[in-house]
Amino acid sequence: MLEIARYEGRKRVKGSLVLGGLLAVMSLAFIGFFPSVTSSGVDLDAYMESMPPALQAAFGEASLTTIEGFLAIEIYQFFWLLLLGVYVAYVAGALIAADEERDRMDVLLAAPVSRVSVVVEKFCSLITPIVVVNIAVPLAVFVGVVLVGESIDLANLAMVHLLSIPYLLACAAIGLLLSVVAGKADLAQRGGLGAVFGLFLLDSITEAAGMGWVGGLSPTHYYDPTAILVSGEYDWMGAIVLLAATVALVAVSAVAFKRRDVR
């Protein structure tokens, strides 16, 4: 069982380690700037407050003069929430469509394996990069914080990464559905990228406009790294919603793939 997931997961190990290493180095580089930020004498909080409401909502309400706020704004609200979410959706866009375009899907389906298993196990292979980056980056963040002479709540740091897993899975599920429906890897990948970015903007704009219920369509609505790092607020219900959405999207993808012809 799960032969496809294991095979695909092993293929992703090297790339996942490279991605985790790059994100870890990037995190260390950003943390290295923190002492100069606090000693600059510039009122960065006033600058943040002068930004348009939509941008304030996008980057979260936190102070750049505290290590928690700095990490939330400089690393998690942008790189983690947006760019990593876009990345997993982009990768997921090729899960099914790429094999179809390269005429490998019909060979795979000739084996005693169901179409549902193919979709589910290929999706499960994305757990590899998601787990790797969520191990490498918090370790780097902790080391960086110690090196600059600061301290951080380890429980909050661990939870910001643990609760990001349902969020990243939901983003990946969006890419998977597009991969099945579009049938072309390039189209599905660009669609996944645009969908996650668009939903991020939707959540930010509607939150600033006092229409947060509309932003409920976006995965970012249910994962707030700033609230976790700065206030220690864990949105368990949001994680459940994201996991439920992931299951639903994967199920829809499996049913859609089962019912259509493979080119």
Give pLDDT, residue 7: 84
119 in Cβ contact with 250 (< 8 Å)? yes
**Statement: residue 63 has pLDDT above 80:** no
**What burial class does residue 103 get, using C-beta atoms within 10 Å of its C-beta: 0-12 exposed, 13-18 middle, 19+ buried?**
exposed
Cβ atoms < 10 Å from Cβ of 213? 9
pLDDT-derived band at 138, boundaries 50, 70, 90: very high
Cα of 154 vs its chain's centroid, Å: 21
Q: Which helix (H) or strand (E) holds 101?
A: helix 97-101
226 in Cβ contact with 62 (< 8 Å)? yes
In the block, residue with structure tokens 């909050």 = 156
102-111 per-position pLDDT tens digit: 777 767 777 7
In the block, residue with structure tokens 């012809």 = 261
3-state secondary structure of 28: helix
**Statement: residue 45 has pLDDT above 60:** no
Please choose, from the candidates 113, 138, 129, the residue with its C-alpha nearest in 3D space to the C-alpha of residue 175. Answer: 129
**Statement: residue 214 has pLDDT above 80:** no
Mean pLDDT of the chain: 84
Q: Which amino acid is at 180?
A: V
The two tokens of residue 143 are: 């080391």
For the segment 17-44, the average pLDDT, to the nearest whole number, is 82
234 in Cβ contact with 228 (< 8 Å)? yes
**Statement: residue 260 has pLDDT above 80:** no
For the segment 53-69, the average pLDDT, to the nearest whole number, is 65
pLDDT-derived band at 56, boundaries 50, 70, 90: low
**Statement: residue 159 has pLDDT above 90:** yes
Sequence-distant (≥ 6) Cβ neighbours of residue 46 within 8 angstroms: none
For the segment 134-140, the average pLDDT, to the nearest whole number, is 95
3-state secondary structure of 134: helix
Alpha-carbon distances of 130 from 64, 83, 176, 201, 251, rounded to whole Å: 27, 13, 15, 23, 20
The alpha-carbon radius of gyration of the chain (Å, integer) is 20
pTM: 0.88
